[in-house]
Structure 1
Amino acid sequence: MSGPSCLDLWLAQACGAREPKQLAARLREAQAAALRRTLRYALERSAFYARRLAQCDLNLRGPEDLPCLPFTQPSDLRNWRDFLCVSQGEVRRMVTLQTSGTTGSPKRLAFTDRDLARTRDFFRAGMSQLVEPGQRLAVLLPGAERPDGVADLLRQALAALGVAVAVPPPAGAHSGADQAPDRHIWGDADHLRRWLRDFAPHCLVAAPAQLALLLRVFPEQGPPGLRGVLSSADRLDPGLARRVRHAWGCALLDHYGLTETAFGCAVECAAHDGYHLRELDVLAEIVDAASGAPLPPGEAGEVVITTLDREAMPLIRYRTGDVAALLPGPCACGSPLRRIGPVLGRLERVGSGGTAQMRLAHPAKGAQARIAARAAIEGAV
């Protein structure tokens, strides 16, 4: 067992735990208070939740009482203004996402500066496992260069530590750190190789598909000076993770995030024993996708999230469509934080009208995914 992780220390400070053995109890108390606060806030400020929660008892003891509340569906976010709890002038960033399924109707998410500040704090705590003050971080995720996008949030989060955060410039452009990347950069391996060698990042943030391409560019050793990699934005295949670690000889951690959680949700530690949840910002449940009934730790089902103390658009029991399990017991690192396992696939609505059906679309490879697919994931919702 190692000492407290950076994420543990961050949450301990937030909930007033002065020593590690106090963290679990103080965290439960803080979660319960934040949940009740969030429910009252949503009832008072959101037109959607004013209707949805009007007949509900909101004096919950804690996260264990969440199943008494109704779900929020992705399709509900088509009427995003009904969710908005602040004026549009207080919104710092809006994100439009295309909803999977038959309708393809977009959903919109709004965030205030305070919402994004909590994500910046989480990024600072999580990235401290991989990057140190004064080092350089390259962010390769698609769209990361947008204002208050992932690169911008990381830049803001790590500025106080003196970490230089950069995105690759378009092919043929000057390779300064402030240039915005072009999606065609991935078609120019020589340009990408030159930029990484010039910038010499100590750490990369990249999607799994980008890591697979980078292995072709750097098949035997990583970019010069590289010490750590954070994979994000999609499921990281275990085989790809092993190849990266073996070929590049660097630390590789995986991150599970959703736009609905303001991009950050859970991150691996060096024990690679699941993803530690940012428990004062996001509550995670696992439910049977057919019946909606809660499932115990270790059983795979649909991930349902509740965002805590969110200003712009709190989400209560939001069905993400991701299939995963909460892991039983503590992490091998000794942290008491709850962990979520790897995403095994994604649920997709099929059919129209009446009762919608759910099926496992884009399943992960391997026996574990096949077991999850055979479980009662398909059924009426």
Structure 2
Amino acid sequence: MPDLLPILTSLAWPLAIAIAWIAGEFGQRWTGLPRISFYGLVGFALGSSQLGVLPAPDAGAASMLADVAFGLILFELGYRINLRWLRTNPWIGVSGLVESLSTFVAVYFIATAFGTPQLTSLMLAALAMATSPATVVRVINEQRSSGQVTERVLHLTAQNCVLAVFAFNVVVAFWIFRTFEDLGDAIWNSLVLLAVSILTGAVFGLAVPALLRGFKNPRQDATVAFALAVILLVALSYAGGLSPVVATLAFGLVARHRRVAYSQAQRGFGALGELLTVLLFVFAASTLDWEKVAAGSVLAVVIVLARLLTKTLGVMAFAHLSGISWRKGALAGVALAPLSVFVILLLEHARLRGVHVVEELRSVAAVTMLLEVFGPIIIQRALVWAREAPELRHAA
């Protein structure tokens, strides 16, 4: 029996991924709901704080693989962002800025009203600005959605991610300065690392297309090259203490504008991307503790509702100015609801940097669990109501 335990432990992650994949396939077939909602439920149930099938989040290479999976998704998101469109239609960027700042202010005041310490409230507000690119890109690909709402959601999601990482890093810098009274370390751990992350991703975005041009066959080789580059970039980010979120997003953004297209048949990076996506959502949900989720549930519900309101009103307010109807503006705002995976990985990175205050963010765990399951459903319904999901157009 003692020899059996290490074997069972080594099989935990493969079995969890297999169970989650099966649950996602059957769940989607029977209910029509996004597969990733079922991935999250399985990961939460099997987590170390629940059934205890999976090891603690910081044990093994699961965290690194989750970051690689997230990096592939962020690269794809960045690759789909058209900066020329944003320059032509600046009101899209304005709406993103307004809804993000409105969310920050609303969540901060709600958290303080619930008696949350100031620093924790600031962290919570910064995290609430974000929209999870993993959920957004996955659901859009799964539904094969396209149209005005879809494109706005992709662009606003990328903008939200950058703003949230920037705000979160500023709060972390404030925490470091207040704790250690070291201004240089605070600046280095926030703005400098963020700038270096952007620069590193941009260098990859220039170098990989140049390498592909040297092969004289960019369309055939681009998918594998970009996947390998993302893996290397995430590893470098880990080694250098950089932000893999910002680095991979910058990589995709710069690579797109170097005009090297990777095959549409490999959107999502094919089978590799599919497998790593399952692992990502299982890992993210497995980090949650049901006791912390229960403890922060009331505040979580209020934050989710406030966040949904500010993002919807923020995008809808500039709908006509940006060239769409009020209805489509409202649906684009609603589709920005997903939050889960982005928050979990950002908190994990902060914990690795020694920011132990994240353990106090019980409400974040509750918000994360709520949106782990319901976030994909919300964006799916928004795309259906916008009539931009071909498979479900008749159901709208």
Question: Would you tell me which structure has more strand in proportion to its own residues?
Answer: 1
TM above 0.5, yes or no, is no
Question: Would you tell me which structure has more helix in proportion to its own residues?
Answer: 2
TM-score normalised by the chain length of structure 2: 0.28
| Relative contact order higher in (CA < 8 Å, ≥ 6 apart) | 2
TM-score normalised by the chain length of structure 1: 0.29
